[in-house]
Amino acid sequence: MEGDVMNIQKSIGTGTTLIHAGEPEPRIRGAVSMPVFQSSTYEYAGVEGDSELKYIRWNNTPNHVALHEKLAAVEEGEAALVTASGMAAISTTLLSMLKPGDHVLAQRALYGGTYSFFVTELSKLGIQVEFFDGNNPSNLTSLVRRETKLIYVETIANPLLHMADLETVVNCANDTDVISVIDNTFATPVNCKPITLGFDISLHSCTKYLNGHSDLVAGGVIGRTDLIEEISGTLIRYGGTLDPHACFLLHRGLKTLAVRMEYQNASGLRIARFFEDHPAVEKVYYPGLESHQTYKRARKLLSGFGGMISIDLKDGVTAAQRFMDRLEVALVAPSLGGVETLVSRPVVTSHVGVPIEERKALGITDSLVRLSIGLENTDDLIEDFKNALE
Protein backbone atom coordinates (compact mmCIF):
# COMPACT_ATOMS: atom_id res chain seq x y z
CA MET A 1 0.00 0.00 0.00
CA GLU A 2 2.77 2.43 0.91
CA GLY A 3 4.13 2.27 -2.63
CA ASP A 4 1.17 3.96 -4.23
CA VAL A 5 0.19 6.72 -1.85
CA MET A 6 -1.33 9.74 -3.50
CA ASN A 7 1.21 12.05 -5.00
CA ILE A 8 0.18 15.62 -4.27
CA GLN A 9 1.78 18.34 -6.32
CA LYS A 10 3.55 21.15 -4.47
CA SER A 11 1.39 23.86 -5.96
CA ILE A 12 -1.67 22.52 -4.14
CA GLY A 13 -2.72 24.53 -1.08
CA THR A 14 -1.78 23.43 2.42
CA GLY A 15 -5.42 22.68 3.37
CA THR A 16 -5.86 20.33 0.41
CA THR A 17 -2.50 18.66 1.05
CA LEU A 18 -3.43 18.08 4.71
CA ILE A 19 -6.58 16.26 3.69
CA HIS A 20 -5.42 14.24 0.69
CA ALA A 21 -1.66 13.61 0.89
CA GLY A 22 -0.65 10.21 2.22
CA GLU A 23 -4.14 8.71 1.95
CA PRO A 24 -4.13 5.14 0.59
CA GLU A 25 -4.95 4.90 -3.09
CA PRO A 26 -7.19 3.02 -3.70
CA ARG A 27 -8.94 3.55 -0.36
CA ILE A 28 -8.80 0.52 1.95
CA ARG A 29 -12.08 -1.37 1.31
CA GLY A 30 -13.44 1.96 0.15
CA ALA A 31 -13.08 3.60 3.56
CA VAL A 32 -12.91 7.37 3.10
CA SER A 33 -11.14 7.72 6.43
CA MET A 34 -7.85 5.89 7.12
CA PRO A 35 -8.69 2.97 9.47
CA VAL A 36 -6.58 2.26 12.55
CA PHE A 37 -4.41 -0.87 12.26
CA GLN A 38 -4.11 -1.89 15.88
CA SER A 39 -1.74 -4.80 15.19
CA SER A 40 1.78 -5.01 16.57
CA THR A 41 3.01 -7.45 13.96
CA TYR A 42 2.11 -8.53 10.41
CA GLU A 43 2.19 -11.75 8.40
CA TYR A 44 5.07 -12.45 6.07
CA ALA A 45 3.43 -11.87 2.73
CA GLY A 46 6.11 -12.62 0.20
CA VAL A 47 8.40 -10.26 2.07
CA GLU A 48 12.06 -10.38 1.13
CA GLY A 49 14.49 -9.36 3.83
CA ASP A 50 13.95 -7.91 7.31
CA SER A 51 13.58 -4.36 6.19
CA GLU A 52 10.14 -5.09 4.83
CA LEU A 53 8.77 -6.72 7.96
CA LYS A 54 6.10 -4.65 9.63
CA TYR A 55 6.18 -4.03 13.36
CA ILE A 56 4.92 -1.05 15.37
CA ARG A 57 8.34 -0.16 16.81
CA TRP A 58 9.70 -0.07 13.25
CA ASN A 59 7.32 2.81 12.51
CA ASN A 60 6.20 1.14 9.29
CA THR A 61 2.59 0.07 9.87
CA PRO A 62 -0.02 1.49 7.45
CA ASN A 63 -0.91 4.23 10.00
CA HIS A 64 2.73 5.33 10.30
CA VAL A 65 3.31 5.28 6.56
CA ALA A 66 0.23 7.40 5.76
CA LEU A 67 1.14 9.92 8.44
CA HIS A 68 4.76 10.17 7.27
CA GLU A 69 3.58 10.92 3.72
CA LYS A 70 1.14 13.55 4.91
CA LEU A 71 3.65 15.31 7.18
CA ALA A 72 6.38 15.32 4.53
CA ALA A 73 3.98 16.72 1.91
CA VAL A 74 2.63 19.48 4.11
CA GLU A 75 6.10 20.76 5.08
CA GLU A 76 7.52 20.16 1.62
CA GLY A 77 10.25 17.85 2.89
CA GLU A 78 11.36 14.61 1.21
CA ALA A 79 10.44 12.37 4.16
CA ALA A 80 9.03 12.41 7.68
CA LEU A 81 8.88 10.33 10.84
CA VAL A 82 6.46 10.39 13.77
CA THR A 83 7.60 9.74 17.33
CA ALA A 84 6.08 9.04 20.76
CA SER A 85 6.32 12.72 21.85
CA GLY A 86 7.83 16.02 20.82
CA MET A 87 10.75 15.32 23.17
CA ALA A 88 11.24 11.91 21.50
CA ALA A 89 11.50 13.73 18.13
CA ILE A 90 14.04 16.17 19.58
CA SER A 91 16.12 13.69 21.60
CA THR A 92 16.18 11.04 18.86
CA THR A 93 17.21 13.58 16.23
CA LEU A 94 20.01 14.97 18.39
CA LEU A 95 21.23 11.53 19.49
CA SER A 96 21.23 10.43 15.88
CA MET A 97 23.19 13.40 14.54
CA LEU A 98 25.71 13.87 17.40
CA LYS A 99 28.50 11.89 19.05
CA PRO A 100 30.86 12.54 21.99
CA GLY A 101 33.24 15.40 21.28
CA ASP A 102 30.80 17.26 19.02
CA HIS A 103 29.80 20.86 19.60
CA VAL A 104 26.29 22.28 19.17
CA LEU A 105 25.16 25.88 18.79
CA ALA A 106 21.68 26.43 20.21
CA GLN A 107 19.48 29.47 20.47
CA ARG A 108 19.31 30.68 24.09
CA ALA A 109 15.50 31.04 24.28
CA LEU A 110 14.42 27.40 24.04
CA TYR A 111 11.49 25.26 25.10
CA GLY A 112 12.25 24.25 28.74
CA GLY A 113 12.39 20.50 28.01
CA THR A 114 14.82 21.04 25.14
CA TYR A 115 17.03 23.32 27.23
CA SER A 116 17.09 20.71 29.95
CA PHE A 117 17.90 17.92 27.44
CA PHE A 118 20.81 19.95 26.11
CA VAL A 119 22.34 20.79 29.47
CA THR A 120 21.61 17.48 31.26
CA GLU A 121 21.66 14.64 28.73
CA LEU A 122 23.98 15.89 25.99
CA SER A 123 26.59 17.05 28.50
CA LYS A 124 26.60 13.54 30.03
CA LEU A 125 27.60 12.23 26.62
CA GLY A 126 30.45 14.71 26.28
CA ILE A 127 28.63 16.84 23.71
CA GLN A 128 29.22 20.54 24.24
CA VAL A 129 26.40 23.04 23.87
CA GLU A 130 26.96 26.75 23.40
CA PHE A 131 24.04 29.19 23.41
CA PHE A 132 23.61 32.20 21.13
CA ASP A 133 21.07 35.00 20.76
CA GLY A 134 18.53 33.86 18.14
CA ASN A 135 17.26 37.44 17.70
CA ASN A 136 20.67 38.73 16.81
CA PRO A 137 22.98 35.95 15.66
CA SER A 138 25.36 38.27 13.77
CA ASN A 139 28.40 36.60 15.40
CA LEU A 140 27.17 33.07 14.70
CA THR A 141 29.77 32.12 12.08
CA SER A 142 32.57 33.13 14.48
CA LEU A 143 31.20 30.61 17.03
CA VAL A 144 31.46 27.68 14.60
CA ARG A 145 34.45 25.41 15.37
CA ARG A 146 35.88 22.33 13.71
CA GLU A 147 33.78 20.19 16.13
CA THR A 148 30.52 22.06 15.46
CA LYS A 149 27.98 19.62 14.01
CA LEU A 150 24.61 21.21 14.43
CA ILE A 151 22.79 24.53 14.88
CA TYR A 152 19.45 24.44 16.69
CA VAL A 153 16.71 27.11 16.73
CA GLU A 154 12.96 27.51 17.20
CA THR A 155 10.82 29.38 14.66
CA ILE A 156 9.00 31.36 17.35
CA ALA A 157 10.48 31.13 20.82
CA ASN A 158 8.43 30.55 23.92
CA PRO A 159 7.17 32.62 25.77
CA LEU A 160 8.11 36.08 24.42
CA LEU A 161 7.37 34.88 20.88
CA HIS A 162 10.43 36.39 19.27
CA MET A 163 11.14 35.08 15.84
CA ALA A 164 14.71 33.89 15.36
CA ASP A 165 16.77 35.31 12.49
CA LEU A 166 16.25 32.18 10.42
CA GLU A 167 17.94 33.52 7.30
CA THR A 168 21.22 34.26 9.10
CA VAL A 169 21.11 30.83 10.78
CA VAL A 170 20.55 29.00 7.49
CA ASN A 171 23.25 30.97 5.70
CA CYS A 172 25.74 30.25 8.47
CA ALA A 173 24.88 26.53 8.47
CA ASN A 174 25.28 26.31 4.69
CA ASP A 175 28.56 28.25 4.64
CA THR A 176 30.09 26.11 7.37
CA ASP A 177 28.56 22.75 6.38
CA VAL A 178 26.74 22.32 9.69
CA ILE A 179 23.31 20.62 10.05
CA SER A 180 20.50 23.10 10.73
CA VAL A 181 17.61 21.95 12.91
CA ILE A 182 14.49 23.94 13.75
CA ASP A 183 11.60 23.34 16.14
CA ASN A 184 8.59 24.58 14.14
CA THR A 185 5.93 23.72 16.77
CA PHE A 186 4.70 27.28 17.41
CA ALA A 187 4.52 28.31 13.74
CA THR A 188 3.13 25.07 12.23
CA PRO A 189 3.54 24.31 8.50
CA VAL A 190 0.54 26.54 7.84
CA ASN A 191 2.46 29.64 8.94
CA CYS A 192 6.03 28.58 8.09
CA LYS A 193 7.74 25.81 6.10
CA PRO A 194 11.37 25.82 7.33
CA ILE A 195 12.59 23.26 4.77
CA THR A 196 11.73 25.73 2.00
CA LEU A 197 13.87 28.33 3.82
CA GLY A 198 16.82 25.93 3.67
CA PHE A 199 16.70 24.07 7.01
CA ASP A 200 17.85 20.45 6.98
CA ILE A 201 15.47 19.19 9.66
CA SER A 202 12.18 20.55 11.00
CA LEU A 203 10.80 19.17 14.28
CA HIS A 204 7.37 19.30 15.89
CA SER A 205 5.64 18.58 19.09
CA CYS A 206 2.54 17.23 17.30
CA THR A 207 0.93 17.28 20.75
CA LYS A 208 0.22 20.97 20.10
CA TYR A 209 -1.26 22.49 16.92
CA LEU A 210 -0.73 19.55 14.54
CA ASN A 211 -3.06 17.32 16.53
CA GLY A 212 -4.92 20.31 17.92
CA HIS A 213 -7.27 18.58 20.35
CA SER A 214 -5.25 18.22 23.58
CA ASP A 215 -5.81 14.46 23.59
CA LEU A 216 -2.44 12.89 22.76
CA VAL A 217 1.33 13.29 22.91
CA ALA A 218 3.31 12.89 19.66
CA GLY A 219 6.27 14.26 17.75
CA GLY A 220 7.35 14.67 14.14
CA VAL A 221 10.62 15.03 12.20
CA ILE A 222 10.74 16.21 8.58
CA GLY A 223 13.75 16.40 6.27
CA ARG A 224 15.85 14.81 3.54
CA THR A 225 15.36 11.06 3.03
CA ASP A 226 18.93 10.18 4.09
CA LEU A 227 18.63 12.12 7.36
CA ILE A 228 15.17 10.72 8.16
CA GLU A 229 16.45 7.18 7.52
CA GLU A 230 19.28 7.74 9.99
CA ILE A 231 16.93 9.18 12.62
CA SER A 232 14.45 6.38 12.00
CA GLY A 233 17.20 3.81 12.75
CA THR A 234 17.96 5.60 16.02
CA LEU A 235 14.26 5.72 16.89
CA ILE A 236 13.92 1.96 16.29
CA ARG A 237 16.91 1.35 18.61
CA TYR A 238 15.75 3.68 21.41
CA GLY A 239 12.12 2.63 20.97
CA GLY A 240 10.30 5.99 21.16
CA THR A 241 7.68 4.92 18.65
CA LEU A 242 4.13 6.28 18.25
CA ASP A 243 1.25 3.86 18.93
CA PRO A 244 -1.14 3.25 15.96
CA HIS A 245 -4.14 4.62 17.81
CA ALA A 246 -2.28 7.86 18.51
CA CYS A 247 -1.24 7.85 14.81
CA PHE A 248 -4.90 7.58 13.88
CA LEU A 249 -5.91 10.49 16.13
CA LEU A 250 -3.03 12.66 14.91
CA HIS A 251 -3.94 11.84 11.30
CA ARG A 252 -7.50 12.97 11.97
CA GLY A 253 -6.40 16.14 13.76
CA LEU A 254 -3.99 17.08 10.96
CA LYS A 255 -6.79 17.25 8.39
CA THR A 256 -8.23 20.38 10.01
CA LEU A 257 -4.91 22.11 10.78
CA ALA A 258 -5.22 24.72 8.02
CA VAL A 259 -8.71 25.89 9.00
CA ARG A 260 -7.82 25.87 12.68
CA MET A 261 -4.67 27.92 12.12
CA GLU A 262 -6.42 30.43 9.88
CA TYR A 263 -9.00 31.01 12.61
CA GLN A 264 -6.34 31.14 15.35
CA ASN A 265 -4.22 33.59 13.31
CA ALA A 266 -7.20 35.94 12.98
CA SER A 267 -8.38 35.53 16.58
CA GLY A 268 -4.81 35.88 17.94
CA LEU A 269 -4.27 39.19 16.17
CA ARG A 270 -7.60 40.65 17.33
CA ILE A 271 -7.00 39.58 20.94
CA ALA A 272 -3.39 40.85 20.94
CA ARG A 273 -4.70 44.27 19.79
CA PHE A 274 -7.36 44.20 22.51
CA PHE A 275 -4.68 43.62 25.18
CA GLU A 276 -2.44 46.30 23.69
CA ASP A 277 -5.23 48.87 24.14
CA HIS A 278 -6.13 47.77 27.68
CA PRO A 279 -4.93 50.09 30.50
CA ALA A 280 -4.17 47.22 32.93
CA VAL A 281 -1.71 45.62 30.51
CA GLU A 282 1.93 46.72 30.68
CA LYS A 283 3.22 44.86 27.63
CA VAL A 284 1.93 42.48 24.96
CA TYR A 285 4.15 40.02 23.11
CA TYR A 286 2.66 38.88 19.80
CA PRO A 287 4.61 38.45 16.54
CA GLY A 288 1.91 40.29 14.57
CA LEU A 289 2.00 43.54 16.59
CA GLU A 290 4.13 46.33 15.19
CA SER A 291 5.40 46.96 18.72
CA HIS A 292 6.91 43.46 18.89
CA GLN A 293 10.69 43.27 18.65
CA THR A 294 10.80 40.89 15.67
CA TYR A 295 7.66 42.11 13.84
CA LYS A 296 9.45 42.89 10.55
CA ARG A 297 11.06 39.47 10.41
CA ALA A 298 7.77 37.74 11.29
CA ARG A 299 5.99 39.66 8.51
CA LYS A 300 8.59 38.53 6.05
CA LEU A 301 8.90 34.88 7.05
CA LEU A 302 5.46 33.91 8.36
CA SER A 303 2.16 33.67 6.53
CA GLY A 304 0.22 34.07 9.78
CA PHE A 305 1.19 35.07 13.32
CA GLY A 306 -0.46 32.21 15.21
CA GLY A 307 -2.50 31.91 18.37
CA MET A 308 0.15 32.39 21.06
CA ILE A 309 0.18 35.68 23.03
CA SER A 310 2.04 36.66 26.20
CA ILE A 311 1.13 39.60 28.42
CA ASP A 312 2.68 41.33 31.41
CA LEU A 313 0.19 43.09 33.67
CA LYS A 314 0.89 46.44 35.36
CA ASP A 315 0.45 45.10 38.89
CA GLY A 316 2.82 42.15 38.65
CA VAL A 317 2.35 38.63 40.03
CA THR A 318 -0.78 39.37 42.10
CA ALA A 319 -2.53 40.91 39.09
CA ALA A 320 -1.47 37.97 36.94
CA GLN A 321 -2.81 35.49 39.47
CA ARG A 322 -6.08 37.43 39.88
CA PHE A 323 -6.53 37.60 36.10
CA MET A 324 -6.13 33.83 35.83
CA ASP A 325 -8.41 33.10 38.79
CA ARG A 326 -11.22 35.16 37.25
CA LEU A 327 -11.28 33.56 33.80
CA GLU A 328 -14.49 31.72 32.97
CA VAL A 329 -14.08 30.63 29.35
CA ALA A 330 -10.31 30.11 29.17
CA LEU A 331 -8.82 27.25 31.19
CA VAL A 332 -5.76 27.62 33.39
CA ALA A 333 -3.49 24.84 32.18
CA PRO A 334 -0.05 24.33 30.61
CA SER A 335 0.50 23.24 26.99
CA LEU A 336 -0.95 24.86 23.88
CA GLY A 337 -2.35 24.49 20.40
CA GLY A 338 -5.69 22.88 21.25
CA VAL A 339 -9.26 23.93 20.49
CA GLU A 340 -9.72 25.31 24.02
CA THR A 341 -7.97 28.50 25.13
CA LEU A 342 -5.30 27.72 27.73
CA VAL A 343 -3.62 30.24 30.01
CA SER A 344 -0.51 29.67 32.12
CA ARG A 345 2.41 31.39 33.82
CA PRO A 346 5.64 30.23 32.12
CA VAL A 347 7.75 30.53 35.30
CA VAL A 348 5.69 27.81 36.98
CA THR A 349 5.04 25.70 33.84
CA SER A 350 7.12 25.64 30.64
CA HIS A 351 10.14 27.41 32.19
CA VAL A 352 10.15 25.88 35.65
CA GLY A 353 13.35 23.98 34.75
CA VAL A 354 15.19 27.07 33.50
CA PRO A 355 17.44 28.67 36.18
CA ILE A 356 16.38 32.10 37.49
CA GLU A 357 19.44 33.92 36.09
CA GLU A 358 18.81 32.38 32.68
CA ARG A 359 15.13 33.43 32.82
CA LYS A 360 16.11 36.97 33.77
CA ALA A 361 18.60 37.12 30.89
CA LEU A 362 15.78 36.07 28.56
CA GLY A 363 13.41 38.74 29.95
CA ILE A 364 10.86 36.25 31.34
CA THR A 365 9.27 37.89 34.40
CA ASP A 366 7.42 36.07 37.21
CA SER A 367 4.24 37.93 36.27
CA LEU A 368 4.25 36.95 32.60
CA VAL A 369 1.02 35.24 31.47
CA ARG A 370 0.99 33.12 28.32
CA LEU A 371 -2.19 32.46 26.35
CA SER A 372 -2.85 29.82 23.73
CA ILE A 373 -5.91 31.07 21.87
CA GLY A 374 -8.28 28.24 20.94
CA LEU A 375 -11.28 28.07 18.66
CA GLU A 376 -13.92 29.70 20.87
CA ASN A 377 -15.67 32.75 19.42
CA THR A 378 -13.23 35.64 19.56
CA ASP A 379 -15.85 37.97 21.06
CA ASP A 380 -16.48 35.54 23.93
CA LEU A 381 -12.76 35.38 24.70
CA ILE A 382 -12.37 39.16 24.60
CA GLU A 383 -15.33 39.48 26.96
CA ASP A 384 -13.78 36.89 29.31
CA PHE A 385 -10.41 38.70 29.31
CA LYS A 386 -12.08 42.10 29.76
CA ASN A 387 -14.00 40.87 32.84
CA ALA A 388 -10.93 39.17 34.30
CA LEU A 389 -8.85 42.36 33.94
CA GLU A 390 -11.39 44.65 35.62
Ligand X SMILES: *Cc1c(COP(=O)(O)O)cnc(C)c1O
Which residues are identified as catalytic? 57, 111, 183, 208
| C-alpha atoms less than 13 angstroms from C-alpha of 205 in its C-beta half-sphere | 22
CB of 231 to ligand X, least distance (A): 16
Residue nearest to ligand X (CB): 86
Residue (114 or 232) nearer to ligand X, CB: 114
CB of 219 to ligand X, least distance (A): 6
The partner residues of 89 in beta bridges, in order of sequence, read none
CB of 121 to ligand X, least distance (A): 14
Residue (114 or 180) nearer to ligand X, CB: 114
Q: Is 293 exposed, middle or buried (0-12, 13-18, 19+ CB in 10 A)?
A: middle
CB of 153 to ligand X, least distance (A): 11
Angle at 307 between CA 303 and CA 311, to 5 degrees: 120
Q: Which of 38, 44, 35, 43 is nearest to 66 (CA)?
A: 35
How many whole angstroms separate alpha carbon 303 and alpha carbon 187?
A: 9
Residue (188 or 378) nearer to ligand X, CB: 188
Can you tell me whether residue 205 is helix, strand or coil? strand
Residue (209 or 275) nearer to ligand X, CB: 209
Can you tell me whether residue 355 is helix, strand or coil? coil
| C-alpha atoms less than 13 angstroms from C-alpha of 13 in its C-beta half-sphere | 8
Residue (6 or 339) nearer to ligand X, CB: 339
Residue 287's CB: how many other CB atoms inside 10 A? 30
Instruction: Report the run of H or E that residue 79 belongs to, with start and end.
Output: strand 79-83
CB of 350 to ligand X, least distance (A): 7
How many whole angstroms separate alpha carbon 330 and alpha carbon 374?
A: 9
List residues near ligand X by CB under 6 A.
85-87, 111, 113-114, 154, 158, 183, 185-186, 205, 207-208, 217, 219
